[in-house]
Structure 1
Amino acid sequence: MSDTQTMIENRPPSVAALFLERVAKTPDAEAYRSPVPPPSGQGPDEWRSLSWRQAAERVDAIAAGLIDLGVRPEERVALASGTRVEWILADLGVMCAGAATTTVYPQTNAEESAYILADSESRVLIAEDAVQLAKARERRAELPRLAHVVVVDPDGAAPAPGDPEGWVLSLADLEKRGRARLEQHPESVRERVAAITGDQLATLIYTSGTTGRPKGVRLPHDCWSYMAKAIAATELVTPEDVQYLWLPLAHVFGKVLISGQIEVGHVTAVDGRVDRIIENLPVVRPTYMAAVPRIFEKVYNGVAAKARAGGAAKYKIFQWAAGVAREYAKVTQDNFRRTGRATAPFGLTARHKAADALVYAKLREAFGGRLRAAVSGSAALAPEIGYFFSGAGIHILEGYGLTESSAASFVNPGEAYRTGTVGKPLPGTEVRIADDGEVLLRGPGIMAGYHGLPEQTAAVLEPDGWLHTGDIGELSVDGYLRITDRKKDLIKTSGGKYIAPAEVEGQFKAVCPFVSNILVHGADRNFCTALIALDEPALLDWAAEHGLGGRPYAELVSTPEVTELVQGYVDRLNQGLQRWQTIKKFRLLPRDLDIEHGELTPSLKLKRPVVERTYQDLIEDMYAGSRES
């Protein structure tokens, strides 16, 4: 048996146990950093650190406080908060109490929040602030099992007339109760952790489905313990790394990063404010981070827009450098695959060195200057964007997984990564491709099932443990997986041709620096069309340069000049597509797609049915007068 197999098979039953092991191993090492805004609100944040010992003191207090509130093993404690260090401490506190965390996105409205709290039968809600408290208070009549709301930021979140006694308390109050309990029963938390079995429920994550009510995915403690050990076995991260964590922790992708960090023991800087990413990167100077493709697309569009604003000569240099980056990445990756060495011909290497001095070095500095690798997941990254960053020295390792598989089932292996694939399965995870091309997974990371939905569980989880992912994919002979599309998203035209819309959409994002979101439509139609939302800052910059400055986005997208601009990029896209894949018509949307209107999931995935319903009139207008066959 290999060392990796031994490490994975001899894993403890829970991340709670792993956390206690980590604290015992490196009590005084830095565990977390988090920003504290200046009292005046002006100037840079101060970043404060917690050692593993300090983190454990707070985790113990939270766990003991929950036990004092009467929370029993496997009972649910909901967490409705943005990404912040208190989220991690609270989640660990829930697990160390033997209970289970129900994750709730802070953007979720009161109605859906109440549904999740009721369906999960959550006994306690840990709410970030007065806004999250208000949602629970508004729907309290529907939540008879919700005994307490613990508020992290207590400003404006005092108990109100009509609240049951003790219903609202602050996180500080909870920790105070916990410390008092530990004085009386010092082993109460350790006893709970020792009693946890691998099959006990640890986390209930509600999938943000494109239709109907979200389903609660039941992930037992063993899923997270396995993920922690499997991530460590990949050796992608080391104890010396500094991770920048901004992803929503209510999402499985963010959650799995916590488990991996505890096993490896590196520092994590935590700040979920997406609008501060660009500002934080040079301060945190991460060596490792994870993101969704939309972030890399926005960075790429921003760099292109900045170059364009610098004048024709500067933009020409950027376009040349982008081409060199892609060529260099493709050649070096191909050579590494064949020979084990990432080499390139002398002429290409010389051009790459010149482009590095002019463009790539500045881009790496924007990421903090120390980034070894970035993991991309949750949706497909357009390969041409991946090749651009790869050639610029920012190595994006695509990964793949689902909520139902605890997020990380595949990841690209370090130096041997291949842009356009999601890499190889994590140690201990099995994969096979069904006759219809669907990817099937089996292993310790697979869910126990959907909460209270046995029929829906049986529809995706076979008795022998194989999970139907709903994704179509291809495996290379040496085990790299390429996802081609969602099974349900494949388009069949009225002419009988199958089209993977995500593939076409990804190619458009690579050729058009102005695009924010695109939806390709064509199911049961005789040609393909597209709904396109543009990146507002990039468009406004372009407009200022072309005599259209001062006009709002919605007005600009209705002008012939902008339509002509986008048409040029659509024409470029079509040149590389099969005839039946080409975009014959498109419409520009009056605003970008967003989470608030329900068109994107909180992890920024496109909700196709919602977008198609919202803009049905634009779709029908594109097909008006055409002969449907």
Structure 2
Amino acid sequence: RDRLPAVRCCVLLEGEGDGDWALSFAQLVARGKEHKARVPGDLQQRLAQQRRDEVSTILYTSGTTGAPKGVMTTNDQFIFAAEALVGSGLFARDDTHLLFLPFSHAFAQVIKVAWFGSGLQMIYAESWDRLVDNAGETGPTVLSGVPRVYEKAFSYAVADGLAEKGLSETLFRVAMREFEKYAEAKEKGQSYSSFAFELARTLVFPEMKEALSKRFGGRIRTFVSGGAPLEQKIAIFFDLLGFDILEGYGLTETIGLTSVNLPGQNKPGTVGRLLPGVEVKIAGDGEILERGRQVMRGYLGMPEATSEAIDAEGWFHTGDVGELDIDGYLRITDRKKDLIKTSGGKYIAPQAIEGALKTMSDLISQVVVIGDRRKYVSVLVTVVEDQAKKVAAEAGEPASSYRDATSSKAVRARVQDAIDRLNATLPSYETVKRFTILDRDFSIESGELTPSLKVRRKAATQKFKAQIDAMYDAESHH
């Protein structure tokens, strides 16, 4: 209490308060009833005095590119979000929505106002780890999540298929080979057909759809993805199985809302069309600029940072690089600050390489691309512990811990194979020359992941500096 002089009172959701500075939830309710009886009409009066342009909430940026900044979010931004999401038909009254993101995240705040605006039923997941179990228990129709949720679902689907025996396994391998060709064609805007692909569509993919649907409670029809870029191959996979996986785009500064794909108008690989009232223009260097009711008031106590972010004409500079296609769909290519320039002068978008490598193997958990002002590209990799132990054991290298598994020759060979397949799709200056498997996975607690499971690039590169430098030492043989 002494260290928080500006805080008048705090409310405990669990446990007993002291009735003075720390109130239990029950004490808060009792105080409210007492106040209402003493000053009737006070709440109505305060509500009537609320203005649209007043600051309602301060949300902090995730700090992936530096220190978190307090974003002053107004009442009108929230009203805009409710109107846009309910008006677009993305959420309806008869939906049941499962949410696991914390309310400190703009994406969760947007879902919250869509809930108030549409009257849908909201389910809170107990935690990120229990998300799939909770979906199985509650049967939601809509799930909003970050790409990590869908990457894991994809990996599980592949692992389940590979665990089959005999003819089923053979069919599954053929199906996944055909899916790779189909996805490659879709990414280039081409169509793909073959006898084997049609066979997979009849025999394999419907079973995968049923298994995935069951995994999420059996009623799911829509997955919404935001908070970070979704790898196009994963969007194509869900789409092929017949699910709506709708990717949207927005930043904390724009109340998480700029554009979104809608059911029946979904274009995988893009973040959808602009929401009504949102203006976007692409600057000369490819940066996305936006203007409209969705833009914040400014950064709390940071007037210089605010005027850097919002120019004199009211355009907010997002720091993301992207383009609008002929149909008005927005495509994000990378964070401007994340672009890597090799010592050969070539610019590389690391997120694209990281996302692609994660889809190459169900063994890979996280990837960080290194290469800024370096002679070549290398990667830090973490693995999925259960999968790594399994691969090691099958190769006669039993591993009792995560660390043991990472030193298994078979695990290294599997990662190398994924990198080789990725490299075959990349221009030579983007190919990954070396890799290091780290001896533990990233986590929110250890500081490499944000609460929305995005990698804090700066934290990871500082923490594993020795491993990174070793990949560029002349005598290194990773």
Sort the TM-score into its range (normalised by shorter chain). over 0.9
Taking a change above 3 Å as real, the CA distance of residues 333 and 512 of structure 1, as seen in their structure-2 partners, is: closer
Deviations 1:207-243 (A, max 9, x none): 1213654210000100000110011121122211111
Return 5+ residue gaps in structure 1 as ranges: 1-139, 160-164
Cα 1:291–1:334 shift into 2, 3 Å: same
Q: 1:486 to 1:183 in 2, by over 3 A?
A: same
d(CA) in 1 for partners of 2:53 and 2:237? Answer: 43
Aligned to 1:222: 76
* 2:332 corresponds to: 483
For the aligned residue pairs, the C-alpha RMSD in angstroms reads 2.4
Match for residue 415 of structure 1 among 247, 261, 264 = 264
Q: Is 1:288–1:371's contact at 8 Å kept on the other side of the alignment?
A: yes
Question: In the alignment, does 2:417 pair up with 1:568?
Answer: yes
Matching of residue 604 in structure 1 with residue 453 in structure 2: yes
User: What is the deviation of 1:564?
Assistant: 1.4
Alpha-carbon offset, residue 549 of structure 1: 3.2
Cα pair 1:227 1:259 within 8 Å, conserved = yes
**What pairs with 1:227-266 in structure 2 (closer than 5 Å)?**
227-266=81-120
Q: Which residue identity is paired with 1:375?
A: V
Say if 2:246 and 2:260, in contact at 8 Å, map to a contact too.
yes
Q: Distance in 2 between matches of 1:370 and 1:601?
A: 30
| Aligned mate of 2:293, from 429, 438, 444 | 444
Distance (Å, rounded) in 1 between the aligned partners of 2:42 and 2:76:
22
- Displacement of 1:196 in angstroms is 0.6
State which of 39, 43, 47 in structure 2 corresponds to 1:193: 47
Q: Which one of 153, 160, 174 corresponds to residue 14 of structure 2?
A: 153
What residue number does 2:3 align with? 142
Deviation larger for 300-309 or 427-436: 300-309
**SS where residue 142 of structure 1 aligns?**
coil
Residues 426 and 327 of structure 1, relative CA distance in 2, 3 Å threshold: farther
Tell me which amino acid in the other structure corresponds to 2:5: P
Answering whether residue 288 of structure 2 is matched by residue 427 of structure 1, we say: no
Following the alignment from structure 1 to structure 2, what is the Cα–Cα distance between the partners of residues 231 and 345? 39
Specify the SS of the correspondent of 1:472.
Answer: strand
Inter-CA distance 506–557: structure 2 relative to 1 (3 Å threshold): same
TM superposition shift of 1:428: 0.8
Q: Which residue of 1 aligns with 2:316?
A: 467
1:22-41 to structure 2, matched below 5 A, reads: none
Any conservation in 2 of the 1:449–1:457 contact (CA below 8 Å)?
yes
Q: Which position in structure 1 is the counterpart of 2:359? A: 510
Deviations 1:70-114 (A, max 9, x none): xxxxxxxxxxxxxxxxxxxxxxxxxxxxxxxxxxxxxxxxxxxxx
Show the 5 A alignment for 1:607-618.
Answer: 607-618=456-467
- C-alpha contact 2:77 2:293 (8 A) present in aligned 1: yes
Structure 1 residues 262-285: Cα deviation after superposition (integer angstroms, max 9, x where no partner): 111211112242222221212321
Look up the match of 2:159: 305
Aligned to 2:444: 595
Instruction: Give, in angstroms, the shift of residue 598 of structure 1.
Output: 1.4
1:622 aligns with 2:443: no
In the TM superposition, what is the alpha-carbon distance from 1:529 to its structure 2 partner? 0.3
Cα distance in 1 for partners of 2:234, 2:186 equals 16
Distance in 2 separating the partners of 1:401 and 1:490:
19
C-alpha separation between the residues in 1 aligned to 2:294 and 2:7? 30
Q: Determine helix, strand or coil for the equivalent of 2:455.
A: coil
The answer for the alignment partner of 1:553 in structure 2 is 402
| CA distance in 2: counterparts of 1:323 and 1:360, whole angstroms | 17
Q: Distance in 2 between matches of 1:326 and 1:369?
A: 26
> Does the alignment pair 1:577 with 2:426?
yes
Q: What are the residue-to-residue correspondences of 1:41-440 with 2, within 5 Å?
A: 140-154=1-15, 158-159=17-18, 166-210=20-64, 213-311=67-165, 314-324=168-178, 348-349=197-198, 351-440=200-289
Q: Please give the alpha-carbon distance, in whole angstroms, between the structure 1 residues aligned to 2:251 and 2:172.
A: 36
Distance verdict in 2 for CA 1:346–1:537, change over 3 Å: closer
In the alignment, the residues of structure 1 paired with residue 438 and residue 336 of structure 2 have an alpha-carbon distance, to the nearest angstrom, of 26
Q: Is the 2:377–2:431 Cα contact (8 Å) retained in structure 1?
A: yes
Query: What is the number of residues matched between the two proteins?
Result: 476
Aligned AA (1:488): K
C-alpha deviation, 1:375, in angstroms: 0.7
Contact 1:375 1:396 in 2 (8 A): yes
Tell me the alpha carbon deviations over residues 342-363 of structure 1, each in whole angstroms, 9 at most, x when there is no partner. Answer: x989985553122234322211
CA distance in 2, matches of 1:568, 1:226: 47
Check if 1:523 corresponds to 2:372: yes
Which residue identity is paired with 2:12? Answer: V
Q: State the alpha-carbon separation in 1 of the partners of residues 264 and 196 from structure 2.
A: 23
AA partner of residue 564 (structure 1) = A
Give the one of 534, 537, 551 matched to 2:386.
537
Cα separation, partners in 2 of 1:322 and 1:346, compared to 1, 3 Å: closer
Residues 166-186 of structure 1: CA deviation (Å, up to 9, x unaligned): 111101110111112222333
Residues 419/334 of structure 1: CA separation in 2 closer, same or farther (3 Å cut):
same
When residues 531 and 286 of structure 1 are mapped into structure 2, their CA distance, relative to the original with a 3 A threshold, is same
Shift of 1:546: 2.8
| Percentage of pairs with the same residue | 38
Q: TM-score w.r.t. structure 1 length?
A: 0.72
**Letter of the structure 1 residue corresponding to residue 318 of structure 2:** T
Aligned partner letter, 2:397: L
Q: For 1:463, give the aligned amino acid.
A: A
Unaligned runs of 5+ in 2: none
Q: How far apart in 2 are the matches of 1:180 and 1:310?
A: 64
What does the per-residue CA deviation read over 1:18-45, in whole Å, with 9 as the maximum and x for residues that have no partner?
xxxxxxxxxxxxxxxxxxxxxxxxxxxx
Q: What SS class does the counterpart of residue 275 from structure 1 fall into?
A: coil
- The letter of the residue matching 1:370 is R
Equivalent-residue separation in structure 2 for 1:540 and 1:206 (angstroms)? 38
Residues 126-166 of structure 1, C-alpha deviation per residue, up to 9 Å, x if partnerless? xxxxxxxxxxxxxx333211121110111xx554xxxxx71
Measured against aligned partners, the alpha-carbon deviations of 1:295-320 in whole angstroms (never above 9, x if no partner) come to: 11112222222333344754443333
Point out the more displaced range, 548-557 or 197-206. 548-557
TM-score by length of 2: 0.93
Query: In structure 1, how many angstroms separate the alpha carbons of the residues matched to 2:54 and 2:462?
Result: 41
Most deviating of 484-493 and 141-150 = 141-150
Q: Which residue does the alignment assign to 2:345? A: 496
- Alignment-mate amino acid for residue 284 of structure 1: T
